[in-house]
Structures are given as C-alpha cells and as structure tokens.
Amino acid sequence: MSHNESTPIISARRQRVAHRWSLNDEIVLVRSGAMVPISGSDMEYAFHPHPDFAYLSGKGIPEAVLAFDAKDQNWEIFGPRSSAADQVWHQPVDPIGLPLSELEDWLAERQGRQVLEVTSRTDLQAAIGEERVHKDELELAALRSAAETSWAGFEWVYKNVTAGMTEREIQVGMEAAFFKAGAVRTAYPSIVASGPNAAFLHYFYGQDDILNPATRTLNKGELLLIDAGGEYGGYASDVTRSMVVGEEPTDIQSFLWQVVLRAQELAIDRCRPGQEWREVHLDSARVIGQGLVELGLLRGNVEDLVASGAVALFYPHGLGHLIGLTVHDAGGFGTNREPSSHPQSMYLRTDRVLESGMITSVEPGVYFIDALLGNLEKRSQFEDEVNWKEVDLLRGFGGIRIEDDVHVTDSEPEVLSASIAKPMRIG
C-alpha cells in the first residue's frame, strides 16, 4: 500500500518520469535538500526545495525524500517529523508521507538492490527535465498566478513612481505589491535600475556591498528598467519593462524602445511548436541590428553585423530561457547541444526546438555597456562597423529590455504576462 498523498496530477508526473527512466528493479531517491547554514551564525538561508523533488511531490519541506521502487513501480515519500523540542521554537512542518525515520527500514527491506541518488545520475535528471519542460495544468495555474502577482507590482510602479525616488524605494513598493497579491517571495533578486545602471544586465540592490548598499535617485527623463517577478507555488514569473520617467521620451529613447518592442513582438509571434529557438534569437538580433544601423550607430549589412559580433556589443544576452520551478528552468538545451561560443549566442540559455507546453521568456534588449564599449580590443576589432563617435555620446544611456513569459501552445502563443502594460513613459 502506498502512503503518499499525491494528487492525480502529481501521480501522472511520476508515471511519466518512471516511464522515461525505464529501470528494472533499482531504487531511486529524490531528496528535497537540506537547510543551508549561514556561515558564522546559527541561522539558515531561506529554503529552496530541489526542483525535481518539488515537481514530483508538490511539497517544499527540507530533508524529505521521495523514494521510487522500480520493481513494483511504487513511489513512497518520507518526511521529517517535528519533535516537541522543535515545536517550542518553530511551527511544525507538514507531516507528509511516512516518517523519515522509517526510510532506513524501507531500504533494508529492499537490500541487495541498487540505490540511485538522482542528483548523481545525469540521465535520470535529464529525464525529469524533459518532463518539466512541458507544463501540466497545475503548473500552468501556478505560473498564471505568479504572473498576476507581478502584474500587481508593475501596476504599483505605474501609479506611484516619479522622478526623485530612489531605486530602493521603487523596489520596496513594488515587492510589497507582489506579496500583497499572494507572491511567496520574489522569483529572483529584483532588478530596479535607473539611468546608466540599466547597462548592468543583472543590477540589484546590495550586490556592491551588502553592508553599505548604494541606491541611486531616478532623474527626470531617465530610463527606468525593472526586471522582476513574484514566485507562487514554487513557480517563477519573470517580467521586464523599461520606461522614461517624468518627461516625454527623447527621439532616441523612443526609437530604441520601439525597436526592442518590435523585436519582442516578432519573437513572441514565433513562440510556436517547431520553431528553432536559436533562429528566433538570431532574428531578434537582426531587428536590433537594423535599428542600430538606422540610428547610424552601426555600419554595414545586418547579417554581417550579427555574424561578426558587432550587434552583440549592444545586445549581448539571449532572447529568452525556459521558466518554471526555477526562473532559468531545466531542459534548456536539447540533446547533444551545448552553449555556443559565438558572441551573439554565448549567453543563450535555450537551444532547442520549441514544443507545445513550454514556457519561455522573450526578452530582447539594447544597452550601452561600458565594459563592452570601453574595451580597447573590441574598439579596434569593430573600428569600421561601429560609429564610435556617436556611440560614445550614448554611454550612460543605460538600456532597454522588454520581457514577457510565453506559453507555447498548439494554437496561438499565450502571453502569461500580457495584462502588464508596456508604457513608454510613466510619472
């Protein structure tokens, strides 16, 4: 008899994974993971269950173990029990499945059989990853709820942000709105970058020095880039909006914003089964490149400018990544595919053909990044292709990124974050 309390949807996930594993009589253990102590302290980091455990159990409890017996195709979950002493300090953990103390006996009853730890078996993990790539109804519901919490945060921004506020004030107000709307936590550290700070792709508060974190005051007429999202039921939301605050956008702000939006819209429309993601990505780079040529910042044929890496100076990251239990989710690379070394694709986190049921971010951008544009080697390498005189005038412009989370379906792409407006100007 099975003591696990899984829902039919979780049972179906387990069956699909077991089918992919195609084992004989082995035992497989999937652990939720341990609490991680903070060095030099008796405190611990916030718990993040191993996503494979979360996927196969629907639970987020430390030290729990999901055990699979391939002989009778049975799954058993073992969870810790809180002692009376524990309960003086902490509310009890949900007593799931069988007590963890019984795992040893359960394994002893199966003595002589091979016990496989899933984390030490790439093939078994890859099989779970292939299932996690295709979201079921329960996952889609959580992803839609996560996107709704993000909607609340961005609405707060649109209604409340004005020039003169600090990035930190904006972050705190936005995150409060995520949490009020039901987010359990943010899906990743919120990026709230004003003016030139948007040229750091992953700029976030406290990264410079957590004892003495800097924050910047947003000036009138500057771009504000916010890349943030709520987490709900373990599932991430990942949304970026860029807007000019307190003034009408300049011609160049407006032009580049429209170029990024056009690149995004074209890419979203191609979030359909059968599309080769790398090609969709390269086409987004061509749209960005064409815009930079029209602005007079790049010279030459767009195809060549993408191939040479000139466009990558302004758009160095990938078009998007799979989203699920982690913001950069499992299964991004197809079989026998590896990260590219080409400057335009070296940070691409997905390289596979799109299939129905996938959730991908679509997030083209354009930036003026000092670490790239000030690099002397690159300046001489791209001497002819880049109009350095004009480009140098835009150092400090920051960057523009627009990002939504898209569900690939057998019909039209479903944009989970579609209700989050895309204002070019706020405040």
Closest CA to 268 of 421, 130, 176, 406: 406
Among 52, 148, 238, 404, which residue interacts with Mn ion (rule: CB under 5 A)? 238
Per CB under 5 A, 139 contacts Mn ion: no
Nearer to Mn ion, 331 or 427 (CB): 331
In the complex, minimum distance from the CB of residue 197 to Mn ion, in angstroms, rounded to a whole number: 17
C-alpha–C-alpha distance, residues 105 and 335, integer Å? 38
Per CB under 5 A, 284 contacts Mn ion: no
Which whole-number Å values give the CA distances from 74 to 9, 70, 99, 108, 245, in the listed order?
Answer: 16, 7, 17, 16, 57
Residue 136 near residue 12 (C-beta atoms within 8 A): yes
Pick the piece of the chain touching Mn ion (CB under 5 A) from 97-105, 142-150, 340-348, 361-369.
Answer: 361-369
Residue 351 near residue 333 (C-beta atoms within 8 A): yes
Nearer to Mn ion, 20 or 352 (CB): 352
In the complex, minimum distance from the CB of residue 231 to Mn ion, in angstroms, rounded to a whole number: 13
Among 197, 284, 326, 361, which residue interacts with Mn ion (rule: CB under 5 A)? 361
Number of residues that bind Mn ion (CB under 5 A): 2
Nearer to Mn ion, 26 or 265 (CB): 265
Per CB under 5 A, 150 contacts Mn ion: no
Per CB under 5 A, 329 contacts Mn ion: no
In the complex, minimum distance from the CB of residue 61 to Mn ion, in angstroms, rounded to a whole number: 28
Task: Give helix 167-180 / helix 137-160 axis angle, nearest 10°.
Answer: 140
Nearer to Mn ion, 320 or 427 (CB): 320
Nearer to Mn ion, 202 or 220 (CB): 202
In the complex, minimum distance from the CB of residue 401 to Mn ion, in angstroms, rounded to a whole number: 9
| Contacts of residue 236, Cβ cutoff 8 Å, sequence gap at least 6 | 143, 146, 187, 188, 229, 323, 324, 325, 326, 327, 329
Closest CA to 280 of 331, 312, 319, 338: 319
In the complex, minimum distance from the CB of residue 321 to Mn ion, in angstroms, rounded to a whole number: 6
Pick the piece of the chain touching Mn ion (CB under 5 A) from 2-10, 121-129, 232-240, 245-253.
Answer: 232-240
In the complex, minimum distance from the CB of residue 305 to Mn ion, in angstroms, rounded to a whole number: 24
Per CB under 5 A, 350 contacts Mn ion: no
Nearer to Mn ion, 290 or 417 (CB): 417
Tokens of 400: 């523009």
Nearer to Mn ion, 6 or 150 (CB): 150
| Contacts of residue 251, Cβ cutoff 8 Å, sequence gap at least 6 | none
Backbone angles phi, psi at 7, to 5 degrees: -80, 165
In the complex, minimum distance from the CB of residue 226 to Mn ion, in angstroms, rounded to a whole number: 12
Closest CA to 228 of 172, 268, 284: 172
Number of other CB atoms surrounding residue 23 within 10 Å: 17
In the complex, minimum distance from the CB of residue 328 to Mn ion, in angstroms, rounded to a whole number: 8
DSSP symbol at 238: -
Residue showing tokens 């799954």? 75
Nearer to Mn ion, 59 or 278 (CB): 278
Nearer to Mn ion, 7 or 207 (CB): 207
C-alpha–C-alpha distance, residues 379 and 373, integer Å? 7
In the complex, minimum distance from the CB of residue 86 to Mn ion, in angstroms, rounded to a whole number: 38
The footprint of Mn ion (CB under 5 A) covers: 238, 361
